[in-house]
Amino acid sequence: MTLHREGTTIMLTSLAITIVLAILNSLFLYHHAKFLSIGLDVLLLVMLFLVVQFFRIPTRHAEYAENQIICPADGKVVVIEEVEETEYFKDKRIQVSIFMSPLNVHANYYPIKGKLPFVKYHPGKFLVAWHPKSSTDNERTTIVIKNENGTEILVRQIAGAVARRICYYGQEEQQVAQGGELGFIKFGSRVDLFLPLDTKIDVKLEDKVQAKLTSIGFLS
């Protein structure tokens, strides 16, 4: 397991704050309220641990079958439905949405290999990730991957009420690898996939899924 580079500043700042508060605690509180002081130290350590674990990147290796779509994020499947995708395809697609809690790994990965014909960032609101308008009103990115057969799928990173920064690394016309790093969402949110209608879906609602390991389905 490693720690993601996006968390370097936050983790170092959290460590510095923890050290300062622990020193002040030992100087001014320990001799007057020992048990309260110890409890505060434990709370500081727990908070630091939660910040650090949020940026963890577990080591994962898997082999993928031809036309397989791998899961782009850790979390829970909250939507599987046919919808009208209005930004890029402007037609009907199967939407599969994965909700990421603050306890999930928050790195995102490319579900297929191919070229990026469309990459766009949208500033926006910070509605809760399960709000019906979060996919169109929240801060988000839209990334389209086109495989060698010409089939395109769309990945959308969506910020939530807690998530306040979406990081994405791809540029238009870039060639990307399946399982390569797509981006990172800080402190919980959602990833939507928009797939062709004839995609064979392998997941079900409420399934807990893991990035790079869970099969979302297969392209025809």
What pLDDT score was predicted for residue 209? 97
Tens digit of each residue's pLDDT (9 = 90 or more) over 120-150: 999 876 565 555 555 666 788 999 999 999 9
User: Are 71 and 212 spatial neighbours (Cβ–Cβ below 8 Å)?
Assistant: yes
Which member of 14, 134, 189, 215 is catalytic? 189
Does the structure show a pLDDT above 80 at 1? no
Averaged pLDDT for residues 190-212: 96
- Phi/psi at 83 (nearest 5 deg)? -135, 170
Are 11 and 49 spatial neighbours (Cβ–Cβ below 8 Å)? no
Q: Please, are residues 71 and 98 in contact by the beta-carbon 8 Å criterion?
A: yes
Cα–Cα distance, 5 to 98 (Å, whole number): 23
Note whether 121 and 191 are within 8 A (CB).
no
Q: Is the pLDDT score of 109 beyond 70?
A: yes
User: What average pLDDT does the structure give for the chain?
Assistant: 88
pLDDT of residue 95: 97
With 80 as the cut, is the pLDDT of residue 163 above it?
Answer: no
pLDDT tens by residue, 57-96: 888 888 899 899 999 999 999 999 999 999 999 999 999 9
Domain locations in the chain?
2-57, 68-218
pLDDT on residue 150: 96
Q: Is the pLDDT of residue 56 over 90?
A: no
Determine the Cα–Cα distance for residues 27 and 40; give it in Å rounded to an integer.
Answer: 13
Query: Which range has the top average pLDDT, 36-50, 62-76, 148-162?
Result: 62-76
Rounded Cα–Cα distance for residues 110 and 10 (Å):
25
Active site residue 135: no
Distance, in Å, from the CA atom of 112 to the CA atom of 2, rounded to the nearest integer, reads 24
CATH number for the segment(s) 68-218: 2.70.70.10
149 vs 138: CA distance, rounded Å: 32
Q: Of 92, 91, 94, whose CA–CA distance to 80 is shortest?
A: 94
